[in-house]
Amino acid sequence: MHKLIFMLFLGTATPALAQANSAPSRAADAATRDGTTNFAETDIVVTAQRRAERLQDVPVSVTAVTAEGLEARGISNLSQLSQAAPSLQVSGENNFTVRGVGTLAFQQGLESSVAIAQDEVNLVSSILGGAVGTFYDVAQVEVLSGPQGLLFGKNASAGLLNIVTRRPELGKLGGQVQVEGVHRPTTPNNGSGFIGQGTINVPISENSALRVNAVYSTQDPVVKFVGSGTGDFGQTQYGVRAKYLVEFSDVASLYIIGDYNEEHGIATYFDRPYANLAPNARPIAPLQAIGIVPGFDTLLIGGGGDFYRDVKRGGVQAKFSYELASGIEISNIAAWKAASRRQNFDTDYTNVNGLDINRSNTKYDQFTNELRVALPATDRFTGQFGLFYYQAKTKFDLALAGFNFVPVPALPNFPFCVGATNIGTGPGQCRRSNTAFLGQDGKFNLDSKSYAAFGQFTYEVVDNLKLIAGGRVTHDRLQADLAQHQGQYFVTLGVPLITSDKVSNTNFSYRIGAQYNFTPDIMLYGTFGRGYKGPGLSQNVPRVGVSPVVDPEINNNIEVGLKSSLLDRKLILNLAAFRSKFKNLQVSSFSPELGSTIVQNAASAKSQGIELSVNARPQRGLTFNLAATVLDSKFQDFPGTECYIGQPDASCNVPTGRQFNAGGLRTPASSKLVATAQAQYEWAVSGSLNAFVEGNILHRSSQWFTINQAPGTRLGGFETLGASIGLQSSGGWRASLFCRNCSDKFVPSSLSIDPGEANNGRLGTAFLTNFNSVRQIGVNFGFDF
């Protein structure tokens, strides 16, 4: 209890978090050219409403982490962002939840409830979301809580991650180099990592400039491989981004961005150790043979198959802006993004063939175009309206195959008939030759289109009182071709199916509210909004005759917030209270009967809580950032939830169905309390040299990673500590020594049911890690030129 009181004292949620003692965020540079307010040096500037505004003037719950804030905490990618944003949770393969709701799914026909936008373009598919990869040349990352689809393109029914990179600077020749090396001494590999980033800004003419960024990252895995298979068990990322800006005049500009990146290795994705297995589990003996005992203390995996994960992503986008004499700005953003992914891993993680092939290939490309008209921000009546278009194609193929630990000499014989030669109809003969003992294969092709018209407006009816109203009409059309199980297996996973399905839906989402400024530095707001996430098509169905169509998701959200800057803006205190009610929440769960994952609609869920952040600068050079989220997120009614093996509910013991109602259970990856605190002090060593010291703490209470709350999939509460110390020169160089998770508190990134054991009627669990799961000690050095 004393720990709870202490963390509540530090802060109780997250509308804003940034380095207030640094220069203001230049998110404004990547926003509209509307000539908004002149910002003060200590202002935090965000683009949460698609234009540059002071955070304290925005009636939205936003966590804004500047480039300086990212560097101070050692946050180098989206998976680490939850260290600074308590309302955000990251689970497994970059599955995000905001305020306890997200889309924990690994299917290509379903989009996330937490959208990702980079430089004003939505990265709709999860395979594109990883394109953010290692942060480089990022100006700011904003976590927007609650439905944000009104102004940010597609979906975002639960929240949005808005990433803003730095724009080219006119008339400036220069650049930056930054390198980081880390060591993870408590891992079996005694692992290390390296990140190198470089940027150069080149003026092309008086009114144009080119900015080129490059990044290279390599990380040893946290988990050690001791199997007989082969593969890439670390993680390597590299990429390049080129940005060209030309300002034809004071009123017209063109901004073009092209990027390409690759990611290789299975680390943090498929290196999954066993947490717990039944005494009679088939993997036990093969694991013991290579020295593996299931448990969190054994960061070892085996495997006799191939392990690889190769992802390539790229794209180009262009924004043209023109400002009329009246101050109205017209802009158009067109973007093409594409990605491909090929991967395989040995699902049983032993040197014996249980399910050695889990192979998939994915190709995805999308085109978006957004035409937007923005009214002058300084008028009493202001706002934005426009049109949005999206189309995408997804091609996905899957193959699962294995021998289920059956000895190889027995496989060709009846009844298994794997590679059989004794074909016939007599007793003991095989009617067919199977590909594998158990398996699944399939192809899934999806065409998606979305059309939308939107607008959001603010009217200052009297001084300091503004009314807010906006709406978005969206029409979605999806068509999919699905072919499952063209191969032959002794045991078939999933449901054999050949079908073509299509679904369309038209929706009106909206937002209404008001904000009142008691003073220029104290603002109260209240809004009601309806968020929308379009329909989907599942790659699997729970049984024959069930449609693969996943219905649209609706979020009715009410939010009341207070934003205040006190003591000559040395103290910023922001508070938000919210309640979201989701209808037809799109969720993913593992079916033991099928041995595969299915996607379905939960009837309803409710997320409610309080967010509060405090940023204090009591004296020059000293900064405190405190934030937390108190959350109650539960399913209200979910009658079709898949049972786990051995679940005691009466409905789970029925031979047909084996489903129960999850109403009243917490949503996955939702903690009741998350709190963060950071302190940083900077002082002058000499006229040109400053020193700094920084420390931070994260507390997260317990959470479940499965809908049915299977034993072994609950992560208990924990705290992690971070710290750094360093020097920076007015000449442009900086160096620091840091540790992350300094106390070496082991924190898995997800806990899951083992599919192989579930297929054999037993409950087993496994876990994933990320690089913050263990202690990291490192150095960072950078310089400007």
Tokens 């990146």 -> residue: 261
The values of phi and psi at residue 383, to 5°, are: 150, -165
Please give the pLDDT value at position 179: 95
> For residue 86, is the peptide bond before it cis, meaning its omega torsion is within 30 degrees of 0?
no
Instruction: List C-alpha distances in Å: 667 to 582, 703, 708.
Output: 12, 9, 9
Burial label, 364 (beta-carbon count in 10 A; 0-12, 13-18, 19+): buried
**Residue 604 class from Cβ within 10 Å (0-12 exposed, 13-18 middle, 19+ buried)?**
middle
Identity of residue 451: Y
Tokens (6 digits) for 565: 């800057």
Cβ-contact 150, 454 below 8 angstroms: yes
- Helix ranges (H only) for 671-777 are 755-759
Q: Which of 336, 226, 219 is nearest to 289 (CA)?
A: 226
* Residue ranges for the chain with pLDDT beneath 50: 1-36, 131
383: left (phi over 0), alpha (psi -120 to 50) or beta: left
Alpha helices in 103-149 (DSSP H): 126-129
Q: Cite the beta strand spans of 465-542 per DSSP E.
A: 465-484, 489-492, 497-519, 522-533, 536-537
Angle at 558 between CA 553 and CA 561, to 5 degrees: 135
Total domains present in the chain: 1
Q: What is the pLDDT of residue 5?
A: 36
H-run or E-run covering 322 = strand 306-323
Please list the residues that pair with 607 across neighbouring strands: 580, 633
The gap between the terminal CA atoms of the chain, to the nearest Å, is 51
Which SS3 state, helix, strand or coil, does residue 274 take?
A: strand
- Is 598:588 a contact under the CB 8 Å cutoff? yes
Please give the backbone phi and psi of residue 57, each rounded to the nearest 5 degrees, phi first.
-100, 0
What is d(CA 367, CA 677) in angstroms, rounded to the nearest whole number?
41
Here the CATH number for the domain that contains residue 704 is 2.40.170.20
DSSP-derived secondary structure letter, 761: T
Residue 324 sits in which domain range?
Answer: 2-784
Q: For residue 242, give Cα distances in angstroms to 104, 179, 196, 234, 499.
A: 33, 20, 17, 27, 43
Give pLDDT, residue 66.
85
Which residues, other chains included, contact 2 with Cβ-Cβ below 8 Å and sequence gap of 6+? none
pLDDT of residue 22: 36
Report pLDDT for 32.
Answer: 39
Task: State the Cα–Cα distance between residues 338 and 342, nearest whole angstrom.
Answer: 14
What pLDDT was estimated at residue 4?
Answer: 38
Q: How far is CA 397 from CA 123, 343, 357, in A?
A: 22, 11, 13
Question: How far apart are the C-alpha atoms of 466 and 458, rounded to whole Å?
Answer: 6
A 10 A CB-CB count for 126 gives: 24
Closest C-alpha among 149, 81, 95, 4 to residue 667: 95
